[in-house]
Amino acid sequence: MTNGDTVRAAIEELRKALAGLDNALDMRFDRERDQGEVESEVRRVNADRSRLAQELDQSEFRANRLEEVNREVSRRLVTAMETIRAVLDR
């Protein structure tokens, strides 16, 4: 093998190595971009979860309040019915 052939072979090996490095960098950038998209999606899901948890807490509070009001209305209706019975019995 002559010096020219050796240099050409070395240059070809260098080209292959650079192409491999270029491909590896492209794949790395793609993975990082994909990871960034996944992280963004996780942040959106966490924000939705927080919002839904807050809405659930508010709904539970309203449901409890309605239950209390319902009991009070029921108690007043019973009192009113008893009063009407007492009046009718006289």
Chain segment 2-56, per-residue pLDDT in tens? 877 898 999 999 999 999 999 999 999 999 998 989 899 999 999 999 999 999 9
Quickly tell me which residue has 């449901």 as its tokens.
63
Q: Residue 58: CA atoms inside 13 Å, Cβ hemisphere, count?
A: 6
* Residue 70 pLDDT exceeds 90: yes
pLDDT at 1: 64
* Residue 74 pLDDT exceeds 80: yes
Q: Three-class SS of residue 82?
A: helix
